Amino acid sequence: MGSFCKRASAATAVAAVLALSAAGASAGDYSNTIFFGDSLTDSGTFRSVVPVGGKFTTNPGPVWAENVASAYGKTATPAVSGGTDYAVGGARVSQLPGVPATAPTATATPVRNQITNYLASTGGRADPNALYTVWGGANDIFAALASPTTAQAAITQAATDLVGEVARLRAAGAQTILVPTLPDIGVTPFGRSQGATAAAQITQLVSGYNQLVTLGLGNAGVSIIPVDTYALLRDAVANPASYGLTNVVGTACTTSSSLLCTSASLVTPTAAQSYLFADGVHPTTAGHRAISDFVLNVLSAPGNVARLAESPLHTRDRVISLIQAQAAANLWTRKTGESGAWIVGGVGRLSSDQRGDQAGTRGTPLNVSVGIDKRFTENLLVGVAGTISNYKGSFSTGGDYKQREYVASAYGVYRVGGAYVSGVGSFGFADYDLRRGVTINGTDHSTGGGTEGVNASFAAETGYEFASGGLTHGPLLGLRYQHVSVEGFTEDSSLFGFSYREQNRNALVGSVGYQAAYDAGSLRPYAKVTLNREFTDGNRSITVESKSISTLAYSMPVAKSDRTWINASAGASVKLAESVTGTLGLDARLGEQRVRDFGAFAGVSVGF
C-alpha cells in the first residue's frame, strides 16, 4: 500500500472525489495458506532489491500473513521466492502503475494478475482445502486521491474488479476465502496530516469502497469470510491501551517508508511493540499481531461454538448407560409386582483435542438421576427417571462454556429365557452460558452469550445371555439415536463477537459387544464391552454473521468426530439390606484419536 501522495493536493482531491460520489453514487486443517494483496500482506517481495528491511513494517517483525500461516503450521513466503504469498507492495486491484509510481512499487503485480499467476500454477483449479485471503483496494484509493476528476469511477471500478476476482477464485474451487475490509486511512498518521476535514473525507471514502465491495459480494452470492479490519483499526486508535499500545498517532520508524525500517531506525527501542503505525499507513509488528489475532478469532469462533452441539452427545450417552445399568440391577433385586425408587450420581472427565479451527475442551461432567420403576412380571421391568446434568468445558484457546441439562427418561427391560430387549427414551432441555477467550496483541477481549437447546434420544439393546451357575454371559447388539438442536444466539462484543444461527447435530450409532455378570447372592459384579460405529458421517457446518458486517453470513465446516470407538464398563450391585441395593460402576470410551471420555457412578435403590 503506497503512502507517497502529495499532501498539497490531498484535501482538494478528497473533496472532489466526494462531490463526484454524491452526484453519482469465507473447520479447518488447511492444506495451505495463500495470500493476494498489497503491502499490508506482502511478506518480503522486495527484500532482494532494497539494502535493508524488505517488508512494509518494523522489520524484521512478521506481517499478519506470516502469523496466520504459522498458526496453521504453514509459511507465507513471497511468491517471487517460490512461496504462496502473492501480495506485492504497491499493488492495485487491476491497474498499473502501482503506488507510488516509482521503483520498486511502480510495477507491482495487480491483485488480478496475482490470482491469474496462482491459477496458472495449478492448472486453473484452486485447492479447495486451502485458506485464501484477498485484500486490496487501498492503493486504488491513493491513486484516486491524485486524480480527482476520475476518482469516483476509478474507485467504483476497483471495488467491482475486486468482487470479480474473489468470484473468479471461488469459481475455480476455493472454499474458504477471507476478504478483509480496507483499514480507515483517515485515522492513520498520513490521514491526520491532511487536517481534520480531509481526514474525515478520507474515512468516508474508504467506508464507501468497503460498502461497494460488501454489497457487490452479497449481490453476486459469493461466499466469503469478511474480516472487519476497518472497525479494528478505528477501535485500536480510540482505545490504544486496551490493545497494549501507547502511541497511535506517531510513526515508529525514522525512515521515509517502513520498507526500509529496521530495529536500528526505530524512534525508541520498543516502538515496534508500543506503536501502532510503522510509517504513515503501515502497521508495526504489534499492529500486524493485532490483525492476525483478529483474523484467527474470525476463523476459530465458529468451531468453538460448534462444541455446544457436540458435548451433549457424550453427556447423554452417559445418562443412557447409567439408566441401563440401574435397570439391570433393579431387575436382579426387584420381586415380581414390586416397585422401587433409586438415585444415582455420576462424575466423569470429558476432553477433546484442538482440531483445526475448533478449540480443544476439557471438563468434568456431573449428573444426578432419580427414578421409579416396577417389575410387573417375572420378565418385565418399566420405569421413569429424571436427570440433572452439568458440564463446564474449558476451551484450550481461553474461556469456557457451561451446559446444564434437564432430562426426562422412560425405560424398560423385557426378558424371555436368555433373550432380552431393553430401551431408553429421553428428552431434555439444555441451557448454555459461553465465554469465549479472545486475545488481541496480548490483551483480553473475551466475548460470550447464552442460548438454549434440546436433545432427544432413543437407545435400544438386545442380546442373549447364557447361564452357567451364577454366571451369565452373552453377545449383544445396540442402536442409539440422538438429535441435538442448539438455538442461535449473539455474543455481546460488537467487534469480536458474532451471531450464530441454529445448530443441529444428529447421531445414529450401532454397537456390537459382549457382557457378563455373576450372581453371588448378595453381590452381582458385571462387565460389558461394545464396539461402536456412528453411521451418520458427521458432516455439518455452522453459519455465522459478523456483527459489524451482518450482510455477509458465512458457513464454516465443523471438524468431524471419530466414528468408531469402544465402550467398556464394569461395576457391581450389592444388597445392602432387605429391599435396599447399592450400585457402583466405571465406564470409559476408548479408541478415539482426539477424545477422552470416562467416568464413574454410584447409587442406591429401595424397593417397596
Alpha helices, DSSP H only, in 109-195? 111-121, 138-146, 151-171, 189-193
* Residue 149: how many other CB atoms lie within 10 Å: 11
Got the DSSP string for 338-375? -EEEEEEEEEEEEEE--BTTBPPEEE--EEEEEEEEEE
User: Is position 276 within any domain?
Assistant: no
Q: For residues 518 and 521, what is the distance between their CA atoms, to the nearest angstrom?
A: 9
Place of cell 474473489: 166
Residue-wise pLDDT tens digits, 7-49 = 333 333 333 333 333 333 334 589 999 999 999 999 999 999 9
Domain count within the chain: 2
Q: For residues 86 and 65, what is the distance between their CA atoms, to the nearest angstrom?
A: 11
User: Is position 401 within any domain?
Assistant: yes
Residue 97 DSSP SS3: coil
Q: Are residues 46 and 182 in the same domain?
A: yes
Residue 551 has a pLDDT of 85
Q: For residues 367 and 348, what is the distance between their CA atoms, to the nearest angstrom?
A: 9
Cα-flanking dihedrals φ and ψ of residue 522, to 5°?
Answer: -100, 0
Q: Are residues 392 and 505 in the same domain?
A: yes
Q: What is the mean pLDDT of residues 369-375?
A: 97
Q: Are residues 319 and 211 in the same domain?
A: no
Q: For residues 330 and 341, what is the distance between their CA atoms, to the nearest angstrom?
A: 9
Got the DSSP string for 226-283? EE-HHHHHHHHHH-GGGGT-SBSSS-SBSSSSGGG--GGGBSSTTHHHHBSBSSSS-B
Q: Are residues 225 and 316 in the same domain?
A: no
Residue 147 has a pLDDT of 84
Determine the angle formed by the axes of helices 111-121 and 151-171, rounding to 10 degrees. 20
Task: Write the single-letter amino acid at 585.
Answer: G
Residue 539 has a pLDDT of 81
Place of cell 469462533: 301
Overall residue count recorded for the chain in this entry: 608
pLDDT band at 460 (very low <50, low <70, confident <90, very high): very high
Q: What is the mean pLDDT of residues 208-235?
A: 96
Residue-wise pLDDT tens digits, 90-128 = 999 999 999 999 999 999 999 999 999 999 999 999 999
Q: Are residues 323 and 212 in the same domain?
A: no
Cα-flanking dihedrals φ and ψ of residue 107, to 5°?
Answer: -100, 20
Residue 5 has a pLDDT of 39
494 a catalytic residue: no
State the DSSP code for 502: -
What CATH number should be reported for the domain holding residue 567? 2.40.128.130
Annotated catalytic residue, options 39, 257, 274, 300: 39
User: Is position 265 within any domain?
Assistant: no
Single residue among 202, 229, 256 that ends a domain in this structure: 229
Q: For residues 161 and 93, what is the distance between their CA atoms, to the nearest angstrom?
A: 7
User: Is position 277 within any domain?
Assistant: no
Q: For residues 251 and 266, what is the distance between their CA atoms, to the nearest angstrom?
A: 9
- Reported as type and span, the H/E element at residue 485 is strand 471-486
Residue-wise pLDDT tens digits, 314-352 = 999 999 999 999 999 999 999 999 999 999 999 999 999
User: Is position 453 within any domain?
Assistant: yes
Residue 28 has a pLDDT of 59
User: Is position 301 within any domain?
Assistant: no
pLDDT band at 1 (very low <50, low <70, confident <90, very high): low
**Which of 310, 321, 49, 291 has its CA nearest to residue 182?**
291
Annotated catalytic residue, options 38, 85, 279, 597: 279
Residue 51, C-beta contacts closer than 8 angstroms, at least 6 positions apart? 260
Regarding pTM above 0.75, the answer is yes
Higher-confidence residue of 538 and 508: namely 508
- Reported as type and span, the H/E element at residue 295 is helix 285-306
Q: For residues 162 and 151, what is the distance between their CA atoms, to the nearest angstrom?
A: 16
Q: Are residues 222 and 116 in the same domain?
A: yes
Task: Write the single-letter amino acid at 49.
Answer: V
Could you tell me the three cell numbers for 207?
A: 467506508
pLDDT band at 516 (very low <50, low <70, confident <90, very high): very high
Could you tell me the three cell numbers for 471?
A: 454366571
Print the domain residue range for 345: 309-607
Got the DSSP string for 378-412? SSEEEEEEEEEEEEEEEETTSEEEEEEEEEEEEEE
Number of helices (H) and strands (E) in the chain: give both, helices first: 11, 24
Annotated catalytic residue, options 235, 257, 282, 288: 282
Beta bridge partners, 33, equal: 131
Residue 296 has a pLDDT of 96
Is 559 a residue whose pLDDT tops 50?
yes
User: Is position 341 within any domain?
Assistant: yes
Residue 561 has a pLDDT of 84
Percent of the chain beyond pLDDT 70? 95
71 CB-side CA count, 13 A: 25
User: Is position 67 within any domain?
Assistant: yes
Q: Are residues 403 and 545 in the same domain?
A: yes
What CATH number should be reported for the domain holding residue 60? 3.40.50.1110
342 CB-side CA count, 13 A: 38
Single residue among 173, 195, 229 that ends a domain in this structure: 229
492 a catalytic residue: no
Q: For residues 225 and 240, what is the distance between their CA atoms, to the nearest angstrom?
A: 26
Residue-wise pLDDT tens digits, 407-428 = 999 999 999 999 999 999 999 9
Q: Are residues 177 and 324 in the same domain?
A: no
Single residue among 181, 201, 229 that ends a domain in this structure: 229
Q: Are residues 167 and 67 in the same domain?
A: yes
Q: For residues 284 and 273, what is the distance between their CA atoms, to the nearest angstrom?
A: 7
Q: Are residues 318 and 184 in the same domain?
A: no
Q: Are residues 213 and 351 in the same domain?
A: no
433 a catalytic residue: no
The C-alpha torsion from 208 through 211 and 215 to 216, rounded to 10°, is 60
Cα-flanking dihedrals φ and ψ of residue 540, to 5°?
Answer: -160, 165
Whole-number average pLDDT of the chain: 93
Residue 7 has a pLDDT of 38
